[in-house]
Structure 1
Amino acid sequence: MNNEIFEWLREHRITEVECILPDMTGVARGKIIPKDKFVSEPEMRLPEAVLIQTVTGDYPDDSMLDLTDPDMVLQPDPNTLRFVPWAVDPTAQLIFDCFRANGQAVETAPRNVLRRVLALYEEKGWEPVIAPEMEFYLLSPNPDPDIPLAPPIGRTGRAEFGRRSYAIDAVNEFDPLFEDIYDYCHAQNLEVDTLIHEIGTAQMEINFLHGNPMDLADQVFLFKRTVREAAFRHNMYATFMAKPMEGEPGSAMHMHQSVIDHKTGKNIFSNEDGTPSEHFFHYIGGLQKYLPSAMPFFAPYVNSYRRLTRYTAAPTNIEWGYDNRTVGLRVPHSSPAGRRVENRVPGVDVNPYIAMAATLACGYLGMANQIGCSEPMQTNAYELPYQFPSTAEEALDKLRTCPELAEVMGSRFVEMYLGVKEKENAEYFRVISPWERKFLLLHV
């Protein structure tokens, strides 16, 4: 057992440990173990099938797994040790990594997928840097899924209406909630930065400080759970659906990304004279070439594609431009040292480990293969033709025929991921929607 973990648990008089692993959908799976039992048996065992549950709790084709259904060996990552700040009794949480009995990493575990991509960067002497931005909606409690969602009641006693983008008073409506969110984040060392009100009704955005992709993926994974828990305690829901409300814009997880040279510590996207480097243009070229094939990682559900439509503050193309929010790949104004690319395509419904692995994989392929990019877009890119797969099925077909992404992210992982998403799509199409009952039942 890691002595640092033991001492931390003892010092803080922890009584229980939440042993967590993120599955492919980004759900926290695992066990809650009494502290004394955890200290004596820090390893945990669970079947690999835990990783590939669909969002509905089902499973893809059984033939994808070992028919004997062997256990994975799960080992805690000491760097992820944190409090569970909303727990009644002193409780800790730890994220676990997945291995086989022979010590080999389990390829389908999302953290291992990201670790695989980061290893490719390390071989080149590069260190990627990520800064995610998280959009989400606050909602009135909605126990009946057949009833449309509505904004919550704020401190004035009224529900928000209309667009309140960047309005300070609109954020202040929910001050008690945000105080708890910031307190919970501080207790877990989640390095959140700016809070703003986004375009949608009761839509918020919280940005993270830039840093190591694995650390940021852990933080985003825990942040989603944190916001939902805080909202429950204020008689609200918080949702990270990509498009939860009709007539309102969707929610994204924009990812700012750059790459540092290990030896010099400098941003490889800039030349010595401050101009953009070839690496910078090749990184964009890789994103432009492979983003359409990687869409299942950035738009993982049928609902995700409701967000990616024209004039909804979401990109519909793989163009890039300087400080242009209508393109899929925006380059913000910055110093040469801070030069970065913002991938605006992912919805906030993504698994952060997989989405970060995918965007870094696209950029890596661009730099490794010296893929050129287009000229920067200087006009409104919403006027251009749609450049992404328009449905979940089309996106899965496109990923299935992209061997380059499978090689970088792991062919077995991609196969399993496709199986999970195909099962979810099949489940979705079994459900008859209110729209169909309203307009088709008595009229066709």
Structure 2
Amino acid sequence: MLTLEKFEQLVTEDLLETVVVAFTDHYGRMMGKRVDAEYFLDSVARGGTHGCDYLLTTDMEMEPVPGYSYASWELGYGDFHMVPDLETLRLADWLEKTAIVMCDLHNDKTHVLESVAPRSILKKQLEVIDKDGLKCFAASELEYYLLENSYKEAFQKNYQDLTPAGYYLEDYHILQGTRNEKFTSVVRRHLKKSGIPVETSKGEWGLGQHELNVRYSEVLPMADNHIIYKQCMKEVADAMGLSVTFMAKFATDQAGSSSHIHMSLWKDGKNAFAGDQQFGPVKGSDLFRWFLGGWIKYVPDVMPFYAPTVNSYKRFVDGSWAPTRLAWSYDNRTAGFRVVGSGPSLRIECRIPGADCNPYLAFAASLASGLAGIENKIEPPEIFVGDIYAAAHLPRVPYTLAEATTMFENSEFAKQTFGPEVVAHYAHFFRTEQSAYDKTVTDWERKRYFERI
């Protein structure tokens, strides 16, 4: 990471010329500006810069979307204030003479955090635990598909008949991992030099599917690292004439890509989940038990924060390594909630989010649900032992984005936790996404109906 003093030194030595000043939109895409390094020092580092508020209402195609109370043509699409979080300032090692910094978004008139910005939503939950002297540590395990086609070529081929960087299921295979080291080793090295500690990389279950894990940290830096990791990986792939996709379900006949979330609460430098009480094969504290109970209970209320696209829900298939039912178990990959570790490493892994999630929103939903569990002393269901895919009596995750959005929009928990204006804003965002899909003729429809209807 860079201090301003070190940053200024690198500028003086002509080793740094550009700063990417960034935030994420609702999709989790990195947005922002490139700023001259000297101008960053003179003005932006302390004074921030501006961006158009339509970026918190736009759709995937960057079209202004009507129906938002936050920003609209009627309101003139004004500015918000992008305020750099200097604790995130670092070299973007994969780019020449470039640094990157993540921003909070402030209202340009009131100078308070924009409530609908994803990073603001997570920071609001951190204010809750700060009052109790708690810290939240988290990790997100991102999976992705690596393809031998460039992004431009994939676009020109209408994303069909693409060539995965592997031709057999390669889960944990060292040989196939070696074949892709020309890409993966470069990403690992760039992430490490950009202040993101890397743990492991490995082949996953799908053709050309991989996972690269970075070290856990406090939850806000982890969300920032998640965003920068994805940006690094895409830009490195682009420079090498390859592509990666973080779609939750890239192909019907292949495994989905997840972003499993590991989370625990800490106090006074110790894991507050650790304890001596026995819960099946698990020993833990009341905080652990109630956090787990709340996290499971409120999944239906916040599901779009874990699964934000139409494609997200096509990942939830029995026997596919993705969870389909709301239950917990100890070290059981068929469970939506898998408890792992022991003692100081005890933590909860939520396997519901896909690789398409916005980490600020997914972490905020996870933390808020667990904190509600602690506040209300919510007991988790009995631990489940066995194949949860076969347990048809257990409650299932929502089937579609439309179903999940309705639950979210009607949830009193979501309104109390995030605020009615935030819920209304995101419900409109998710409905806009669903509507775009509903109006589009797909290849599946043409293949099914062109001749035979």
Instruction: Give the TM-score of the pair, scaled to structure 1.
Output: 0.93
Give matches, 1:226-265, under 5 Å.
226-261=232-267, 264-265=268-269
- The number of residue pairs the alignment matches comes to 433
Q: Which moved more, 1:217-226 or 1:160-169?
A: 160-169
**Judging changes above 3 Å, is the alpha-carbon distance between structure 1 residues 4 and 53 closer, same or farther for their aligned structure 2 residues?**
farther
User: Is the contact made by 2:57 and 2:68 (CA closer than 8 Å) also made in structure 1?
Assistant: no
- In structure 1, give the amino acid aligned to 2:425: M
User: Is the contact made by 2:271 and 2:345 (CA closer than 8 Å) also made in structure 1?
Assistant: yes
Matched-pair identity in %: 29
Give matches, 1:141-160, under 5 Å.
141=149, 142-144=154-156, 146-152=158-164, 160=166
Which among 326, 339, 344 is matched to residue 334 of structure 2?
326
**Judging changes above 3 Å, is the alpha-carbon distance between structure 1 residues 247 and 8 closer, same or farther for their aligned structure 2 residues?**
farther
Work out the CA distance in 1 between the residues paired with 2:54 and 2:10. Answer: 30
Cα RMSD after superposing both structures: 1.9
User: Is the contact made by 2:276 and 2:284 (CA closer than 8 Å) also made in structure 1?
Assistant: no
Which among 240, 253, 272 is matched to residue 268 of structure 1?
272
Q: 1:337 matched to which residue of 2?
A: 344
Q: Which moved more, 1:194-203 or 1:5-14?
A: 5-14
Residue by residue, what CA displacement relative to the aligned partner does 1:84-123 show, whole Å, maximum 9, x if unpaired?
A: 22334x1221111111222211111111111001111111
User: Is the contact made by 2:56 and 2:116 (CA closer than 8 Å) also made in structure 1?
Assistant: yes
Work out the CA distance in 1 between the residues paired with 2:139 and 2:161. Answer: 30
Give matches, 1:71-82, under 5 Å.
71-82=79-90
Shift of 1:46: 1.5
Which among 426, 443, 447 is matched to residue 434 of structure 1?
443
Which among 288, 298, 316 is matched to residue 308 of structure 1?
316
User: Is the contact made by 2:276 and 2:285 (CA closer than 8 Å) also made in structure 1?
Assistant: no
With CA pairs under 8 Å and 6+ residues apart, which has the higher RCO, 1 or 2? 1
Residue by residue, what CA displacement relative to the aligned partner does 1:175-224 show, whole Å, maximum 9, x if unpaired?
A: 11112101210221112211111111111111121210010100000000
Shift of 1:413: 2.3
**Judging changes above 3 Å, is the alpha-carbon distance between structure 1 residues 193 and 54 closer, same or farther for their aligned structure 2 residues?**
same
Residue by residue, what CA displacement relative to the aligned partner does 1:389-420 show, whole Å, maximum 9, x if unpaired?
A: 11110000000111212322333222211111
Equivalent position SS for 2:301: coil
Q: Which moved more, 1:209-218 or 1:39-48?
A: 39-48
Which among 387, 394, 404 is matched to residue 395 of structure 1?
404
Equivalent position SS for 1:17: strand
**Judging changes above 3 Å, is the alpha-carbon distance between structure 1 residues 273 and 403 closer, same or farther for their aligned structure 2 residues?**
closer
User: Is the contact made by 1:270 and 1:337 (CA closer than 8 Å) also made in structure 2?
Assistant: yes
Work out the CA distance in 2 between the residues paired with 1:12 and 1:362. Answer: 48
Q: 1:189 matched to which residue of 2?
A: 195
Residue by residue, what CA displacement relative to the aligned partner does 1:421-443 show, whole Å, maximum 9, x if unpaired?
A: 11111111221111111221222
Q: 1:423 matched to which residue of 2?
A: 432
Equivalent position SS for 1:64: coil
Q: Which moved more, 1:393-402 or 1:132-141?
A: 132-141
Residue by residue, what CA displacement relative to the aligned partner does 1:335-365 show, whole Å, maximum 9, x if unpaired?
A: 3111110000000100111111111111111
Equivalent position SS for 1:228: helix
